[in-house]
A and B are shown apart, each in its own frame.
Chain A
Amino acid sequence: MNYKYLFSYKSNIGYFLLLCTVVLLGACDIGDNNVEPGENIVKIYNNENFAINYDPLDIKQTSDGGFIILSSVDVSDTYLLKINELGEFVSDTLITSPFTHPLPNLFEIGGDFYFFSMDDISLATHLTKINLSDSSQAPEIIRTYTEIIYPLAVSQTPDGGFIIQSYNRDSRSSKLTKLDANFAESWNNEYEVLEDVENTIIGKFSGTAENLPYFTGSMNDGSIYFFNGFYNFSLSVVFVNSSDGDLIGTLNGLRDETGLSAAQHITGNSFAVSRFSFDDNFLLPLGDINVQANDFSGDLGGNELPEILPSAKVVIKRLTINGQNVVLYGSETKSKQIVLYAYDESDGALLGTKYFGNVNPYEIGNFVETTDGGLAISGRTFVAGRFPRICLFKISETELNSIVP
């Protein structure tokens, strides 16, 4: 065989050029192998305490790009966790008796963070402020509302004020209190339950009964407020006039076995809601609710999702993802994963889903859009299947957009 051509000078150059081309083309992934730190985060905030139990309620992004997470600890105490933009622990604050049972919303006002909690002795409501610029991050009690006992839910209104849902055990009524932007009471109104549900309320605070989905909210124009609480023997959504709290309409449940688990106003009479009926869960991303009628929540219909855990917490928020107006549901599955469902706000069509966590149980706390266009989800996981710890999932804008193709 004549090898002269095979191993000639020109042939050799050709072989090596071919080899180098293959190498260079194949090695492109080295140059592309770079991700900005903090774009994606999976973190579990662990310690060696065998007995402590965290239950995160809300998450907000701070001005430094990090996050602050509001959590309850061991059912009653309040815990604030500050983490940096990479998801690493920075500091924490444990607030114990009498400032207990934080309500599941954290509010940022002027760079400071506020939350409401209950006094475990007087049952009154405290407004507490955390100043992150203060190195001690000592909580400061701004105001105590002695007339608001058993606070159950709170949300901010379009005018910068707040509405607080509570339970008046003396009148056996649900109570809604409107605060202005300076935290002064504007009005309050009560809505008769017609039976004593204090044991159910106490069960929520003591952790001995099911944590029913109490929530408050507003129509976008601020004309109507609503709360999900006990009214007329049942867990119902009560719509009230925002100027004085007068009842306008209701969406009744069936005792506490059927009702709504979350609601978000879209526009007009359109709401995105999730509802439960015994152990079944239904998501209705675009449903019409007549706020001036007295209807039954079981008639709303919706998409039944058997994968969602009975009594699961559901969070609904309106976001713009990948240029589309999206209603994003967050909940937890029977396989104990956190799940996001993205629906088209205009027609209620499902656009995509995403799951977080595996093997060990994961439960949703809340989620928030991040300044880099991503999404941060706080939750609870049971490390090694047994230690309840706060977890954080942060996904990049690219990954978030991939949910909504």
Chain B
Amino acid sequence: MSITSNKKKLLFATFTKGILAIIFLLLSKPDLFAQDPQIDRKTGLIRGNPYGPDKLNKRKSGNASLGSTGSTGSTPLSFGLKGGTNLTDVRPEDQFSVFSFTEVPNASSAEKQYFKLSDNRGFHFGFIARYAVTGQLSVALEPTFSNMKYSYVNNYTWVDFENNSNSLELNYEHNQTLNYIEIPLLIRYNLLNSFIKPFVHGGGFYGRLLSATKKINVSGTDYAAGNTQEFSNSSSTLGVDDLYIKTHLGLIAGGGLSYQVGPAAVELSANYKIGMNNVVNEANRLSDDTITGGNYDVLDNTKLRNIEISLGLVFSL
């Protein structure tokens, strides 16, 4: 087994153990972040961890404020919906190509030119289930449908060296769409207990691939057919589920603002997600002849990074 493989396994194991350690720490020490009960000077309510060492909050205040979780009810649990856009940034690790050039090319390139972040726009929507550990600290599961897109292009040129007017330029634009169901586990900390409540959060996510598709646009200019002719052809959408593995693990860090409107909290958040594993299926990379032999494409080993911007509405029970 290769060194790279061992590193991957070690990274995966470390990541998993880290997440588990954080979870158990929080669960086994529910009072870890507990605050001493305090009387809120404005409301007169007792603030603090209702499940902390001091049980005053739980007993005396049935509607204790839980910070920006949006909860005004008697439980520390809140639910909500969220949705928004996401931008995908691809970080190829090992690059592959069907072509190997026998002469140094002038205008062709075997390397893919990846589109920049702002051109790889997708969307997401999902649910929020949040559990307030303390007034400032909460843990949330946010099962999300995440649609990620990323694209790249390859340019190739052929020239008749005896008659330069005979040439062909081809551009292969490959557009990938990956649909994941993701389960992020987020630990959130409210920075202020103000009217508009800023917060930061972080954690990890587990993603499961639902489907992967690819659309290939071939365009070019043919200078050899008797006249200069530009052309463009699009492939139908190809299912490429087998070219990706099912699992996508990663870390999330981000923050946002929460604004309480009656029983609900409107939340605007931005997250940066770092994929920890190569999402491309190495064993199946070459398995689709339509893509490799027909459109000269082989997926690079790829880790996905995303910027997510979400708008959510959270209700407490």
Is B8 within 8 A of A359, CB to CB?
no
Given contacts A20-B23, A35-B283, A89-B101, contact A30 B157 (CB under 8 A): no
Is B101 within 8 A of A46, CB to CB?
yes
List the A side residues contacting B277 at CB < 8 Å.
Answer: 30, 33
Is A49 within 8 A of B158, CB to CB?
yes
B99 is contacted by which of A19, A44, A81, A356 (Cβ under 8 Å)? A44
B100 is contacted by which of A34, A44, A359, A381 (Cβ under 8 Å)? A44
Is A46 within 8 A of B99, CB to CB?
yes
Is A48 within 8 A of B158, CB to CB?
yes
B residues 1-42 near A (Cβ < 8 Å) are: 1-2, 4-5, 8-9, 12, 16, 19-20, 23-24, 27, 30
A51 is contacted by which of B4, B160, B278, B292 (Cβ under 8 Å)? B160
B residues 286-311 near A (Cβ < 8 Å) are: 286, 289-290, 292-296, 298
Given contacts A44-B98, A50-B158, A384-B170, contact A357 B289 (CB under 8 A): yes
Taking the closest CB of chain A, its distance from the CB of B252, in whole angstroms, is 15
List the B side residues contacting A35 at CB < 8 Å.
Answer: 282-283, 285
Q: Is A295's CB within 8 Å of the partner chain B? A: no
Q: Is A29's CB within 8 Å of the partner chain B? A: yes
Main secondary structure of the interface of B (DSSP, over half): mixed
Q: Is A24's CB within 8 Å of the partner chain B? A: yes
Which of A5-13, A119-127, A317-325 interfaces with chain B? A5-13
Given contacts A50-B166, A384-B170, contact A45 B161 (CB under 8 A): no
Size band of the interface chain B makes with A: 35 or more
Is B100 within 8 A of A49, CB to CB?
no
Q: Is B131's CB within 8 Å of the partner chain A? A: yes
Main secondary structure of the interface of A (DSSP, over half): mixed
A30 is contacted by which of B1, B141, B170, B249 (Cβ under 8 Å)? B249
Is A27 within 8 A of B158, CB to CB?
no
Is B293 within 8 A of A81, CB to CB?
no
Is A42 within 8 A of B292, CB to CB?
yes
Is B293 within 8 A of A29, CB to CB?
no
State the CA gap A399–B116 with chains docked (Å). Answer: 37
List the B side residues contacting A23 at CB < 8 Å.
Answer: 16, 183, 206, 249
A residues 85-136 near B (Cβ < 8 Å) are: 87-89, 92
Is A7 within 8 A of B77, CB to CB?
yes
Is A88 within 8 A of B27, CB to CB?
no
Is B12 within 8 A of A81, CB to CB?
no
List the A side residues contacting B107 at CB < 8 Å.
Answer: 48
Q: Is A182's CB within 8 Å of the partner chain B? A: no
Q: Which residues from chain B sit less than 8 Å from chain A, CB to CB?
A: 1-2, 4-5, 8-9, 12, 16, 19-20, 23-24, 27, 30, 75-77, 98-103, 105-108, 131, 141, 156-162, 166-168, 170, 183, 185, 206, 208, 224, 245-247, 249, 277-278, 281-283, 285-286, 289-290, 292-296, 298, 317
